Amino acid sequence: MKIAIIGAGAMGSRFGYMLQEAGNNVFLVDTWKQHVEIINKDGLLVDDNDTLKTIKIPIFFPEEVNEIPDLIILFTKSMGLKPMLKSIEKIIGKNTQVLCLLNGLGHSDTIAEFVNKKNILMGVTLWTSELVAPGHIKLTGSGNVEIQSLDPNMEHAAEKICQIFNKASLNAIHSKNVILSIWKKACINGALNCTCTILNCNIEEFGQLKNSRNIITNIIQEFSEIANKQEVDLKVDEIISNVEQTYDPDEAGEHFPSMHQDLIQNHRLTEIDYINGYISKKGKEFNISTPYNDLLTMLIHSKEELLIKK
Ligand code: NAD
């Protein structure tokens, strides 16, 4: 299968590497000049659970690509999704399947501006990856990926992609309700990413705070109200328990969430508008009050203003 990975950072490079190793015809697309040039010249350096390998994998800038693939996997950060889709519109064929694996909410509406709904697949993944330097990724642990077609008549397409992913050991599950899984992950991110970022603490430290239960309950309740309005049944108690499980140092406790890594450690823009900011935006549209997510979104944007030089 010819597979294009659009957004070849930490996650896109991981999926590209695993799918190519399994015999697929893969190419990467990215806008980051230094990263693209290093991979073209020296190959992609992969630290795969402490084994170092250099792999040759084709990588292009969006303006260079002209081959129409069977499958496009979207892996930019959320704020890069729309510009990226615009820049690769010419390689979205009438039968090209387009799979979104970004974190966050609201992406299917953006993709539908460029892709026929019958070809859109949504997914969510528990795989992780770290970008150590341009052209260099570090892979640890294992994960899985849930996939479902937006169009119920296209479930055979999701099934086929799951088979291809499983040949690459990506542990794919053909989901019956991927939208619920996407909401659950976004809600856990919504409870922990912005709070640990604003408080400058890791997940375990956050969990030990006297007010942590109170803070996450209020955030999650607002997520649940917006989800319900979109016919997604997000159970507040279940999500609170999922969040609290991550406080354990044997789970994610020792980690700083990705938003902390982006903003505090690397002074990069965050995906806040597609997590808490999405709740805040939809709250206004639906006339539902979302004061906790409104404030958290404003605080993260304010921290972006303070830390990121124009
Ligand atoms: P990243 O920043 O490492 O990679 C994103 C890449 O997209 C960058 O290389 C960037 O240059 C590229 N890009 C930006 N605009 C582009 C455009 N217009 N065209 C082509 N490429 C463009 O991010 P990541 O960590 O790989 O995360 C990608 C998504 O996956 C995010 O939504 C993230 O939340 C989610 N996610 C990440 C992890 C993880 O462990 N890193 C785990 C699960 C989900």
CATH code for the domain of 193: 1.10.1040.10
Which candidate, 278, 277, 269, 271, places its Cα nearest to that of 305? 269
Q: Do residues 214 and 263 share a domain?
A: yes
Is position 185 annotated as part of the catalytic site? yes
Q: Which of these, 245, 249, 269, 273, lies nearest to 259 by C-alpha position?
A: 269
Is 146 in the same domain as 242? no
Q: CB of 9 closer than 6 A to ligand 1? A: yes
Write down which residue in 136, 159, 176 finishes a domain. 176
Residues 230 and 293 in one domain: yes
Phi and psi at 60, nearest 5°, equal: -135, 160
Q: pLDDT tens across 18-64, in order? A: 999 999 999 999 999 999 999 999 999 999 999 999 999 999 999 99
Residue 310 has pLDDT above 80, yes or no: no
> How much is the average pLDDT of 240-266?
94
Look up residue 232 and give its DSSP letter. Answer: -
5, 11, 15, 27: residue to mutate for ligand 1 pocket, most atoms within 8 A of CB: 11
**Predicted local confidence at residue 19, as pLDDT:** 98
**Cα-to-centroid distance, 288 and ligand 1 (Å):** 31
Whether residue 153 sits in one domain with residue 7: yes
Range of the domain at 19: 2-176
Average pLDDT over residues 59-83: 97
Clarify whether residues 59 and 35 are in a common domain: yes
Domain boundary among 157, 176, 195: 176
Residue 101 CA, closest ligand 1 atom number: 30
Which CATH number does the domain housing residue 38 bear?
3.40.50.720
Domain's final residue, options 176, 195, 211:
176
Domain identity same for 104 and 90 = yes
Of 77, 138, 184, 185, the active-site residue reads 185
Domains in the chain, number: 2
C-alpha–C-alpha distance, residues 247 and 42, integer Å: 40
Query: Sorting pLDDT into bands at 50, 70 and 90, what band is 153?
Result: very high
**Within this chain, do residues 247 and 168 fall inside the same structural domain, yes or no?**
no
Claim to verify: residue 78 and residue 123 sit in the same structural domain: yes
- pLDDT for 250 beyond 90: no
162 and 192, same domain (yes or no)? no
pTM for this model (two decimals): 0.96
